[in-house]
Amino acid sequence: MTTTIDAIRAEALFVSCLQASQRPEPEQVRDAVEGSLRKLGADECITRVAVEFGEHPDIAVRRMCWCLDAVRSAFATEGVVSLPKAA
């Protein structure tokens, strides 16, 4: 299931220069997402994604699928709290 935050992050990754062919590490994905959101803001990211889907839908679908997978993987441990082991 895609959450709203996953969608926003995927849109930010989509408009970044990072490519699937680079096989980026999770930290690179997180940095690209943060950079796009900081530089453009969420609304501009959404606008640019919409333009790409309008102009190149076949390519945009593949890229968005990769972006969603990359974001889910890169942010998978966020919010996970490690509890101390019982003695």
> Quick one: average pLDDT of 62-79?
91
Please choose, from the candidates 48, 61, 56, the residue with its C-alpha nearest in 3D space to the C-alpha of residue 17.
Answer: 48
71 in Cβ contact with 51 (< 8 Å) = no
**CA-CA distance, 25 to 47, in Å (whole number)?**
26
What is the pTM (predicted TM-score) of this model? 0.85
pLDDT of residue 85 exceeding 90, the answer is no
pLDDT of residue 79 exceeding 70, the answer is no
> Quick one: average pLDDT of 22-26?
97
Query: Angle CA(77)–CA(83)–CA(76) in degrees, nearest 5?
Result: 5
pLDDT at position 14 is 99
> Quick one: average pLDDT of 3-31?
97
Nearby residues of 1 by Cβ (< 8 Å), 6 or more positions away: none
**CA-CA distance, 28 to 54, in Å (whole number)?**
27
